[in-house]
Amino acid sequence: MCGIVGYIGTKPAREIVIKGLKRLEYRGYDSAGLAIVNGETKIFKCKGRVADLEEMVNQTDFNGTIGMGHTRWATHGEPNELNAHPQVSHKGNFVVVHNGIIENYALIKKHLQTRGIQFNSQTDTEVLANLIEHLYLEGDLTAEQAISLALNRVEGAYGLVIICTKETDRLFAARKGSPLVIGVGEGENFIASDATPIVEHTQRVIYLKDDDIAIVKRDELILKNIRPGRREPEVKQVDLKIGEIDKEGFAHFMLKEINEQPRAIHDTFRGRVLPDHSGIMLGGLHSVLETISQSERIIIVACGTSWHAGLLGEYLFEEYTRIPVEVEYASEFRYRDPIIRKGDIVIAISQSGETADTLAAVKLAKEKGAIVLGICNVVGSSIPRETNAGVYTHAGPEIGVASTKAFTTQVTVLAMMAFEIGFLKGIISSEKYKMLIDELVSIPQKIEKALKMNDQVFELATKYQQTRNALYLGRGFLFPVALEGALKLKEISYIHAEGYPAAEMKHGPIALIDENMPVVVVATKDDTYEKIISNIQEIKARKGNVIAIVTEGDELIKRMADFVLEVPETLPAFSAILAVIPLQLLSYHIAVLRGCNVDQPRNLAKSVTVE
Ligand code: G6P
């Protein structure tokens, strides 16, 4: 949830750390802080964004070649300067930046208070800093020993970078549950919550594993476990280009990512579709394909937008593979005692691969004997490393907090899985298989076309920017699109919006409809088209404003609706991918017109690594 950057080398650390924090700001942005070592260790912290921190440090000349920083998404204690990281221990020996939650912090704090230790903040991190210091002083230990001992006593999740002010030739990094990556350079090393701040310096990275502790010096890197033992670092090459994490001329990451969808979807199926379109081969599923096709039940677990993709997965799998599917919020699944039978398949969908609830659901499903698959975007993240098999979406880094290309690429993967399994099971004929693949391959071009309606969507956004509520309706494959459209509007423009299956409108939401209520109806042509026409009439009869997403050339709905946005014709399996494009653009433009921070909406974070 929070972003961490550490640097040790020969260059000025301040600039490297601040630049890195800016890249990680999508992870949290309610306060920021920095520690720089140069003889003494100086700390700078403020409420607000990394830019505020930068302004603050620019007023001093203090710099050094070792530093670490943090951008926070508050869990314990309100976002203010005192609660911002780094947190320092009572006597100043340890300086800590932390992502995650120390669950037994209250107990430890009570114990430390009885030993006369006073606390300045409300954070669990300050408790950890003090626990380390307490063990260090009391046991006359080295910093490394004290950190290991302390980490054996805490429960919860952490990604940590620690400076010991008495051993300033090194940084300590440790991980449990919260991701941490080390970038290996020449005479310098980097630490960060993900690879994005690192790739402009080095492509060689080490992903820390749970219970790892790394001692990171300029020229040396030692990897140990918090329980006795040392492990050989496994250096990997990250395939991430710097251009992929810049806005490339777009006003916001979200707009860039909306526009990237043709390319992203192409990357999702590239190399997986046979050149003559006669088949799909998802290499990551090769070993389990037969097992999936024989399974009697699939459970999809996810959160947020990924859960909406999961709903589409249900429709796709049931239609093309005839395997019954249940879609669960990961947070609900993990805290029940879910019934998992032998041969059940659990599919976890997660852009980041780090969402705490989804990761916990994966671990639970594994314990219960399910075959667990992942559909993730971030390569090397925790979920793909926990699962038995899986498929990467290859959407490229998604920085905007509101998910866009992650969603459409997840749906693309789910469609490919459903087709490949359906064909294997003999439910889809080879003609139909080819026809579905032909259509899949044409989707990027169709999205390009849909994106051309940007000006029209902008015009619509200017009309509805002041609205306080909105209703989104859809049926079948278009119901999850209604949910996703409503979520996009809520997330970034703070307008109350609800998504509903269109026919359910009569059981409640219809009471809300009057001349002030915009109703977005996702009504592209599929099997439910006739039915949704009746729903539009019901809305118009109550003077509601209908904004309809329709298939190109639909004259009927044009006559009934107040505003139509046309998307190219496609097969029902892909209708969600096209219909969601105008809804992403609509929420984007409304949010910009309302002066909202589109890429970093209030209270949200890109990667929710706390439960
Ligand atoms: C957060 C993000 C959403 C995302 C959800 C699940 O709430 O703001 O955009 O859909 O987490 O994230 P995941 O990385 O698991 O897909």
Summarize pLDDT for 429-479 with one digit per residue, the tens.
999 999 999 999 999 999 999 999 999 999 999 999 999 999 999 999 999
pLDDT for 378 equals 84
Residue 129 has pLDDT above 90, yes or no: yes
Give, using CA atoms, the residue closest to atom 7 of ligand 1: 304
Sign (positive or negative) of CA dihedral 166, 170, 175, 180: positive
Please say if 2 is a catalytic residue. Answer: yes
Summarize pLDDT for 84-109 with one digit per residue, the tens.
999 999 999 999 999 988 888 989 99
490 lines ligand 1 (CB under 6 A): no
pLDDT for 247 equals 77
pLDDT for 299 equals 98
Which amino acid makes up residue 590? Answer: I
516 pLDDT band, cuts 50/70/90, is confident
- CA gap 90, 130 in Å, rounded: 6
401 lines ligand 1 (CB under 6 A): yes
Closest CA to 83 of 125, 36, 22: 125
Measured in Å, residue 355 CA sits from the centre of ligand 1 at: 7
Write down the catalytic residue from 2, 46, 164, 303. 2
Summarize pLDDT for 343-392 with one digit per residue, the tens.
899 999 999 999 999 999 999 999 999 999 999 998 778 899 899 999 99
Q: Which atom of ligand 1 is nearest to the CA of 401?
A: 8
pLDDT for 32 equals 94
Measured in Å, residue 349 CA sits from the centre of ligand 1 at: 10
pLDDT for 244 equals 65
Residue 231 has pLDDT above 80, yes or no: no
Alpha helices by DSSP H, listed for 405-510, are: 405-424, 430-451, 454-464, 479-493
Asked if 84 and 95 count as a contact pair (C-beta separation under 8 A), the reply is no
Mean pLDDT of 221-247: 77
| Percentage above 70 pLDDT, the chain | 98
Measured in Å, residue 259 CA sits from the centre of ligand 1 at: 19
Please say if 46 is a catalytic residue. Answer: no
pLDDT for 420 equals 97
| pLDDT, mean over the chain | 93
pLDDT for 475 equals 95
Please give the backbone phi and psi of residue 183, each rounded to the nearest 5 degrees, phi first. -100, 125
CA distances, 149 to each of 26, 90, 128 (Å):
32, 18, 11
Query: DSSP string spanning 318-357?
Result: HHHH---EEEEEHHHHHHS-----TT-EEEEEESSS--HH
Mean pLDDT of 28-38: 91
Measured in Å, residue 41 CA sits from the centre of ligand 1 at: 36
Write down the catalytic residue from 109, 176, 490, 606. 606
Summarize pLDDT for 162-198 with one digit per residue, the tens.
999 999 999 999 999 888 999 999 999 999 998 889 9
Summarize pLDDT for 40-70 with one digit per residue, the tens.
999 999 998 899 999 999 999 999 999 999 9
Residue 229 has pLDDT above 70, yes or no: no
318 pLDDT band, cuts 50/70/90, is very high
Residue 534 has pLDDT above 80, yes or no: yes
pLDDT for 243 equals 62
| Percentage above 90 pLDDT, the chain | 78
pLDDT for 249 equals 77
